[in-house]
């Protein structure tokens, strides 16, 4: 059974992403406490968690204000990422060096080792930095500075709202199985298959995010 803090957090996060609480909306502890019939303590705990994710902001003189991301924005960013990251992976398959392949192999091996040593509830925290390291090596291997900058602009925006953390927590080992398959395709120089696999990975990541927060993804993703 969920705690009051979790219930309030889930309600507010979904309302923000659905656009029911648009950017600029003010939120007060007392109104939420009255709405849910609880003290202000679980409300404040829920708000602290949302603030850490970048979905709300405490502003002097204005109280707590929604600054979050909408479902449509998430869909559009994933659609853009699918296009530009697919292109980057295609170029990476052509240009990646032996040293970079070795570095990717090291990440995959380290992830496999962690999986054998850590309990399931500790895997997400350990895999998130490894996924980031793999992605950085992969994207840099395309050798196109403008494309690299564009990709990280969109990735960093989602990271600001903990979207990546939710996805990794939801998919855990599956995302690293995909990376291991991708490594094999990069080693063989199969750019078509590598591009298709990474785009499938982004499709699955998009769906898993909305499954994890128990929301319909809408029809804004291509």
Looking up residue 55, the CATH number of its domain turns out to be 1.10.10.10
Place of tokens 């895997």: 123
pLDDT of residue 2: 86
pLDDT at residue 180, as a whole number? 97
Q: Are residues 106 and 197 in the same domain?
A: yes
pLDDT score recorded for residue 105: 98
pLDDT of residue 3: 94
Asked if 81 and 186 sit in the same domain, the reply is: yes
In a shared domain, residues 101 and 169: yes
pLDDT at 190: 98
Kind and range of the H or E run holding 107: helix 98-117
Looking at the structure, do residues 193 and 127 belong to the same domain, yes or no? Answer: yes
Q: How far is CA 82 from CA 75, 85, 88, 120, 148, in A?
A: 10, 6, 10, 29, 14
SS3 26: strand
The answer to whether residue 220 sits within a structural domain is: no
* Of 52, 50, 46, residue with least CA distance to 33: 46
What range defines the domain where residue 123 resides? 71-212
Instruction: Give every CB contact of residue 206 below 8 A, 6+ residues apart in sequence.
Output: 74, 75, 78, 217, 221
What secondary structure, in 3-state letters, does 38-84 show?
CCHHHHHHHHHHHHHCCCEEEECCCEEEECCCCHHHHHHHHHHHHHH
Asked if residue 185 and residue 85 are part of one domain, the reply reads yes
Q: Which segments in the chain show pLDDT lower than 50?
A: none
How many domains does the chain contain in total?
2
The average confidence (pLDDT) of the chain is 93
Structure confidence at residue 201 (pLDDT): 96
Q: Which of 14, 42, 66 is the last residue of a domain?
A: 66
pLDDT of residue 83: 98
Q: Which residue has the tokens 């609480």?
A: 21
Q: What is the CATH number of the domain that holds 98?
A: 1.20.120.530
Residues 11 and 77 in one domain: no
Q: pLDDT at position 163, please?
A: 87
Question: What is the value of pTM for the model shown?
Answer: 0.88
| 80 shares a domain with 42 | no
């Amino acid at each position: 059974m969920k705690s009051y803090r979790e219930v309030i957090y889930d309600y507010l996060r979904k309302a923000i992403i659905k656009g029911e609480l648009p950017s600029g909306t003010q939120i007060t502890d007392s109104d939420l406490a009255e709405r849910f019939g609880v003290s202000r303590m679980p409300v404040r705990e829920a708000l602290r968690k949302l603030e850490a994710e970048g979905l709300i902001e405490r502003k002097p003189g204005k109280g707590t204000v929604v600054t979050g991301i909408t479902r449509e924005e998430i869909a559009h960013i994933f659609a853009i990422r699918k296009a530009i990251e697919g292109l980057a992976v295609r170029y990476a398959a052509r240009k990646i060096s032996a040293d970079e392949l070795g570095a990717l192999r090291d990440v995959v091996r380290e992830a496999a080792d962690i999986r054998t040593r850590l309990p399931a509830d500790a895997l997400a925290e350990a895999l998130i930095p490894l996924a980031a390291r793999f992605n950085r090596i992969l994207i840099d291997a395309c050798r196109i500075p403008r494309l690299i900058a564009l990709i990280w602009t969109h990735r960093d925006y989602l990271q600001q709202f903990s979207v990546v953390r939710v996805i990794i927590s939801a998919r855990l080992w599956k995302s690293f199985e995909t990376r291991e398959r991708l490594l094999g395709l990069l080693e063989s120089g199969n750019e078509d298959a590598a591009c298709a696999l990474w785009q499938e990975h982004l499709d699955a990541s998009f769906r898993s995010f909305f499954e994890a927060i128990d929301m319909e993804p809408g029809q804004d993703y291509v």
